[in-house]
């Protein structure tokens, strides 16, 4: 293992921030794994830390294949993590909406540019990321529909679902989208929780990355069999949104199987406890995403249901 300073972010008000990387093996730039880009992505940082520890043992045992290399960047969100802020604290900006970045732009744009410059030459790229709202997902692989995506290759992670998502305007400034345009097979992994450690989801995500590295012939390591992945698109998901604001009391959680018309949550008046709205599933299926914050704003998505209107 070689520990390097990937690049340094200067600061006028405190010590410079060094973005650290961990390199395993030598030769071809086979795969890069990026963890937390936002200051609240604790789960993503945790999975990367475990991956570093695992690959260190694999390398010690001669398990990195000749001519292959893996780069792991646990976090590029140091200042934001110190401040407990999801967005880049000095600018209140999301680094994952600044790609491909600019060397002459704001700090977040320069961070994106420096990361992109170092990551774009890797054959495969894995980003551990999170949704723009707090919540829990069924662990899955996600990629943008750029015309260059390879969902069949994503099945090598062995997670239950591979989600090919049509990009919106804001998505075109993300790492996943720009990574694909650079020619990298880029995948985003949603690892369950965000602001707290979910051991079961972290273990599942770690094993998925190990399985992918094995499948790509980058490492040689024992691994458990994965799922036969199903490829899904936007048309397979139904969003259930709130028409009222208030306290969110959930009765169903991510992974639950539900039937059309079944109650999912109540939105309560935060002062008198009365029910403002009852959210029900319009389709039969499985809860793919569940918002887990204590409050919900009017018009906000609360659930995504993977399923069919039949049944």
Q: pLDDT digits over 190-238, tens only?
A: 877 788 898 998 999 999 999 999 999 999 998 889 999 999 999 999 9
Q: Is the peptide bond before 100 cis (omega within 30 degrees of 0)?
A: yes
**Length, in residues, of the chain:** 311
The residue with tokens 């890069």 is 32
pLDDT at position 132: 76
Residue 212 tokens, joined: 């992918």
Q: Is 163 in the same domain as 97?
A: yes
Q: Please tell me whether residue 170 adopts helix, strand or coil conformation.
A: helix
Q: Is 140 in the same domain as 262?
A: no
Q: Is 153 in the same domain as 289?
A: no
Instruction: Find out whether 32 and 71 touch, Cβ atoms under 8 Å.
Output: yes
Q: Is 179 in the same domain as 276?
A: no
pLDDT < 50 positions in the chain: 311
Q: Is 28 in the same domain as 141?
A: yes
Q: Is 172 in the same domain as 268?
A: no
Cβ neighbours of residue 234 closer than 8 Å, sequence gap 6 or more: 165, 166
Q: Is 60 in the same domain as 154?
A: yes
Q: Strand pairing of 124-129 and 135-137?
A: unpaired
Domain boundary among 228, 249, 269: 228
CATH code where residue 241 lies:
2.40.50.100
Residue 110 tokens, joined: 């320069």
**CA–CA separation, 144 and 124 (whole Å):** 14
Q: What is the dihedral of CA 126, 129, 131, 135, to 10 degrees?
A: 120
| Residue from 287, 238, 243 nearest 267 by CA | 243
Q: Is 185 in the same domain as 265?
A: no
**CA–CA separation, 218 and 211 (whole Å):** 10
Number of domains in the chain: 2
CATH code where residue 34 lies:
3.40.630.10
Cα distances (Å, whole numbers) of residue 301 to 79, 87, 115, 224, 304: 29, 20, 31, 35, 8
Please say whether the dihedral angle defined by the alpha carbons of residues 126, 82, 197 and 245, taken in this order, is positive or negative: negative
Q: Is 14 in the same domain as 122?
A: yes
Q: Which strand (E) or helix (H) includes residue 33?
A: strand 28-36
Q: Is 207 in the same domain as 295?
A: no
Q: Is 158 in the same domain as 278?
A: no
Q: For residue 196, what is the DSSP state?
A: S
Residue 204 tokens, joined: 């599942």
Instruction: Find out whether 131 and 137 touch, Cβ atoms under 8 Å.
Output: yes
Range of the domain at 251: 236-308
pLDDT at position 135: 83
């Amino acid at each position: 293992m070689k520990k390097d300073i990937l690049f340094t972010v200067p600061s006028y008000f405190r010590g410079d921030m060094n973005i650290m990387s961990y390199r395993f093996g030598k030769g071809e730039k086979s795969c890069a794994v990026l963890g937390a880009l936002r200051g609240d992505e604790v789960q993503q940082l945790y999975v990367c830390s475990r991956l570093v520890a695992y690959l260190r043992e694999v390398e010690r045992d001669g398990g990195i294949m000749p001519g292959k290399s893996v780069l792991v960047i646990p976090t590029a969100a140091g200042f934001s993590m110190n401040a407990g802020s999801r967005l880049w604290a000095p600018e209140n900006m999301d680094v994952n909406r600044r790609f491909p970045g600019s060397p002459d732009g704001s700090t977040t744009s320069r961070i994106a540019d420096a990361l992109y410059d170092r990551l774009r030459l890797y054959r495969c790229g894995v980003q551990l990321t999170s949704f723009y709202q707090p919540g829990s997902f069924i662990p899955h692989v996600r990629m943008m529909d750029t015309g260059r995506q390879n969902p069949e290759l994503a099945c090598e992670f062995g997670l239950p679902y591979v989600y090919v998502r049509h990009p919106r305007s804001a998505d075109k400034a993300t790492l996943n989208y720009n990574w694909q345009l650079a020619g990298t097979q880029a995948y985003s992994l949603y690892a369950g929780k965000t602001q707290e450690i979910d051991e079961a989801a972290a273990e599942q995500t770690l094993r998925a990355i190990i399985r992918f590295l094995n499948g790509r012939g980058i490492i040689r390591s024992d691994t458990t069999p994965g799922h036969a992945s199903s490829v899904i698109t936007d048309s397979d998901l139904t969003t259930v949104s709130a028409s009222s604001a208030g306290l969110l009391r959930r009765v169903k959680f991510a992974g639950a199987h539900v039937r059309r018309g079944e109650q999912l949550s109540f939105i309560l008046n935060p002062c008198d406890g009365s029910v403002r709205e009852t959210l029900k599933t319009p389709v039969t299926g499985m809860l793919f995403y569940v918002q887990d914050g204590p409050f919900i704003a009017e018009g906000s998505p609360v659930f995504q249901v993977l399923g069919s209107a039949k049944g």
